[in-house]
Structure formats: C-alpha cells, structure tokens
C-alpha cells in the first residue's frame, strides 16, 4: 500500500500550489477541501446539513457556502457539527481513492485541518507549508474576494504554525514559488522518491 504524505498549512499558505508541484513530479494528489465541496452537493449530505443548520443557508435548494461559513467560523460548536457530517464522508472517499493508487510508493493527502481532524495520525510523513502572515492574508483576500476580518476569523479557528511545525516532518516556506519548488525537490530526494514515475 502507498505511504501517505500529509500536506497541510494555514489558509493562504499556498498548500495547493505545493500539491500541484508534487503532482508535476508524478505523485497522485488528493485535495480534501475540494472533495469536501463536492461531497457537500450530494443529497444525503445536504439533508444532514439542513437538519443541523436549517433552510436559511439554502437558496432554491442550493447551499449558500458564504452563509454557512459565516455561521461556522464564528461558532466552534457549529463548526464541529459540520465537520462531524463532512469528515466521515471525505475519509470514506479517500480510502477508495487510496485503493486505486495503491501501486505508488507515496501519495499526497492535502488538507487544511490535517491536525485538527486527527487525520495526521494516518499519515507516514507530514509536511507543513508556511508563509509570512501578511502574504497569507493578501493571498486569501485576492483569491476569495473577502475581507481581512473574515480571513482572520478563519485563521483563528485553525491551528497556527507554532502548533503545526513541531509535529511536522518537513516545513516548506512558501514565500516565493521558486523557493517552494526547490523545497519540494529536496523532500523527494530525502524520501528517495523517483520523480515522474507512473
């Protein structure tokens, strides 16, 4: 069975950019947050979300993610309730994906809340991506067309780098893409992973 490299980092750290570098080097990559978004469209999950959060966060049966985010990022209990619905479904989906990619030596599991969800325990190696706080905030404002206040709210419900770094095997400092790419190559060498193998 393939070994799992957990890839994490705070909002705006550039995890997905790093995940894409690993993909370019030939490693299969599972983006947990993207899968969670897909799973949230399924009827059985929508039913559970409605039961907990009510109809107000739906518009013509379509989930309004911004309204849901407003609720959960300001209320730890509600966030836990949402995670209790989404996490088991993502875990199941990942296990099926892992079966399909079991012939690889390593696969990448990218998740924003790898530590908070306890999923890091299932990883053989953990990489934390970090960047200066101001760079992270600017990236998220630009990407999500959101406000500084909203970015900080989301940061506050995640672990910070001081918590992540001591329990990670590798740290990628993603202030510039060039540096980050070199870090990825270095990690592949240390783990003795051949690049671009199929």
Instruction: Write the secondary structure of 165-185 as one string of H (helix), E (strand) and C (coil).
Output: HHHCCEEEECCCHHHHHHHHH
| 16 annotated to bind ligand | yes
| 17 annotated to bind ligand | yes
The answer to whether the beta carbons of residues 16 and 112 sit under 8 Å apart is no
Q: If you ran DSSP here, which 8-state letter would residue 57 be given?
A: G
In Å, how far are 16, 148, 153 from 185, measured between CA atoms?
16, 33, 34
| 118 annotated to bind ligand | no
| 8 annotated to bind ligand | no
- Whole-number Å distance between alpha carbons of 126 and 108: 10
Binding site per annotation, positions for ATP: 12-17
Binding site per annotation, positions: 12-17
């Amino acid at each position: 069975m393939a070994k799992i490299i957990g890839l994490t980092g705070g909002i705006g750290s550039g995890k997905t950019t790093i995940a894409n570098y690993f993909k370019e080097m030939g490693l299969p990559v599972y983006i947990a947050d993207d899968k969670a978004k897909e799973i949230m469209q399924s009827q059985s999950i929508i039913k559970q979300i409605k039961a907990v959060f009510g109809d107000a966060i739906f518009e013509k049966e379509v989930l309004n993610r911004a309204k849901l985010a407003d609720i959960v990022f300001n209320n730890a209990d509600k966030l836990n309730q949402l995670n209790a619905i989404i996490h088991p479904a993502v875990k199941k989906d990942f296990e099926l994906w892992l079966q399909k990619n079991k012939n690889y030596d390593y696969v990448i599991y990218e998740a924003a809340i790898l530590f908070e969800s306890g999923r890091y325990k299932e990883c053989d190696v953990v990489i934390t991506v970090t960047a200066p706080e101001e760079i992270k905030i600017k990236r998220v404002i630009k990407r999500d067309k959101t406000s500084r206040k909203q970015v900080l709210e989301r940061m506050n419900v995640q672990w910070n780098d001081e918590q992540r770094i001591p329990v990670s095997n590798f740290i990628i400092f993603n202030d510039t893409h060039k540096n980050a790419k070199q870090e990825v190559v270095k990690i592949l060498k240390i783990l003795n992973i051949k690049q671009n193998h199929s």
